[in-house]
Amino acid sequence: MRLVRLAVPTLFAATLLPCAFAQDAPSPTGPPRKSKAPDTTVQDVGPLQTLKIGTNLVNLYFSAHDKSGFITNLRKDDCLLAEDKVPQTIKNFTQEKNLPLTIGILLDTSGSQMNVLPMEQQSGAEFLKDVLTPKDEAFLISFDINVDLLADYTNSPRELQRAMDRARINTGAGTGSVTGNGNARGTLLFDAVYLAAHDKLRQEAGRKVLVLLTDGGDQGSQETVKTAVEAAQKANAIIYVIMIADRGFYGGMSFGGDSDMQRLAKETGGRVIDVGNNGKKLQAAFDQIQDELRTQYLVSYTPKNLEFDGKFRSINLDCGKDLKITTRKGYYAIPDGAAQDN
């Protein structure tokens, strides 16, 4: 039995808490949550359907940039794709601007964020106001000694801002998380990423993004960086990490976590942006993420390896030696109808 629970309002507790006890990501075939988004012309493979029997399509979102910025005029013939070093045939190649976007904001509210939380709240609210359209949705999670859902799915920037403003620094023993001995856990960063990907995003279709605002330190999570990455990969979610820190809290000491944050971002197709404790750099970081989301491409292909063994398949996408491609490193070949939890 898992020992970390996601503290949520009573309305959502019955449906969300049982998922938090699962060890493995469920089948990609669970029914998706009903969406208000309009139909699009791009074929989508559904919730967590990184590979689905029937369509056999793998969907891969990516962005391309060079020294001058993001590239927006690529065509299918410009790119070569390989899975486990075996060349693949690209079926669909589109630039994604209109596909519904689901964003999860993960806000570090541990003691080390005391002096930077206000700027995170302001910049985060402005980012959501700018990036969300009527067909998009976002949710907000805070993490410290607990993992708390501050706002469930909504496309209302005002509602998200109110939830953002309610976030508070928490350093004491809390009641929102359950541990084996009842003690405070520290900063449950990996647990927050796992729960956001596994319990929230796995049922979503379209583009899925987690924006993590943190100093990168984890203390006490039951999940690890490995299981957090796997949950995000199985949900086909991109992780952007904004490294922000109250350096005065550390007294000049290193706060660590850099390599883990790089792994979270790199292996899911995102990146790490270090802003220190500078408000202007934080705003610029959100602007960069917004620009990248507006210039993404979607590549779809049918893998030549049709063995649905649940194993990880590596993906390599090359669109020219002068271009840097940002995308996830692979996917899990999860069969249709697989058991949700073991």
Tokens standing for residue 228: 């957090």
Q: End-to-end CA distance of the chain: give it in Å, rounded.
A: 11
Tell me: the pLDDT tens digits for 197-247? 999 999 898 899 999 999 999 999 999 999 999 999 999 999 999 999 876
Q: Token pair for residue 159? A: 């509602």
Give the model's pLDDT for residue 308. 84
**Whole-number Å distance between alpha carbons of 100 and 286:** 19
Spatial CA neighbour of 133 closest among 106, 157, 160? 157
Q: Does 329 score more than 50 pLDDT?
A: yes
Q: Pairing mode, if any, of strands 207-214 and 238-244?
A: parallel
In whole angstroms, what is the distance from residue 62 CA to residue 183 CA? 42
* Spatial separation of the C-alpha atoms in residues 287 and 294, rounded to whole Å: 11
| Contact assessment for residue 124 and residue 107, using Cβ atoms and an 8 Å cutoff | yes
Evaluate whether 328 touches 269 at the Cβ level (below 8 Å).
yes
Q: Are 121 and 165 in contact (CB under 8 A)?
A: yes
Between the CA of residue 212 and those of 76, 106, 142, 190, 216, what are the distances in Å?
32, 5, 10, 11, 9
Strand (E) or helix (H) holding 275: strand 272-276
Residue 329 has which token pair?
């490193």
pLDDT at 96: 76
What's the CATH number for 99-294? Answer: 3.40.50.410
Instruction: Return the number of other C-beta atoms located less than 10 Å from residue 267's C-beta.
Output: 19
pLDDT value at 249 more than 60: no
Radius of gyration of the chain (CA): 19
> In 3-state terms, what secondary structure has residue 201?
helix
pLDDT of 107 strictly over 60: yes
State residue 341's pLDDT score: 33
pLDDT, averaged across the chain: 80
Q: Which two tokens stand for residue 324?
A: 């840097």
pLDDT, average across residues 104-126: 93
Q: What is the pLDDT of residue 250?
A: 52
Going across the sheet that includes 238-244, the strands are 147-154, 137-143, 101-108, 207-214, 238-244, 272-276
pLDDT at position 335, please? 65
Cβ atoms of residues 6 and 17 within 8 Å:
yes
Task: Report the length, in residues, of the chain.
Answer: 342
pLDDT tens string 6-36: 444 433 333 343 334 333 444 333 434 444 4
Tokens at 50, concatenated: 């990184």
Classified as helix, coil or strand, 263 is helix
pLDDT for the residue 248: 60
**What are the tokens at 200?**
């929230």
Task: Quote the pTM value.
Answer: 0.78
Close Cβ partners of 320 (under 8 Å, ≥ 6 residues apart): 78
On the question of pLDDT at 268 being above 50, the answer is yes
User: Does residue 307 have a pLDDT over 90?
Assistant: no
pLDDT score recorded for residue 50: 41
Per domain, the residue ranges of the chain are 58-98+296-332, 99-294
Residue 92 above 80 pLDDT?
yes
Give the pLDDT of residue 339.
Answer: 34
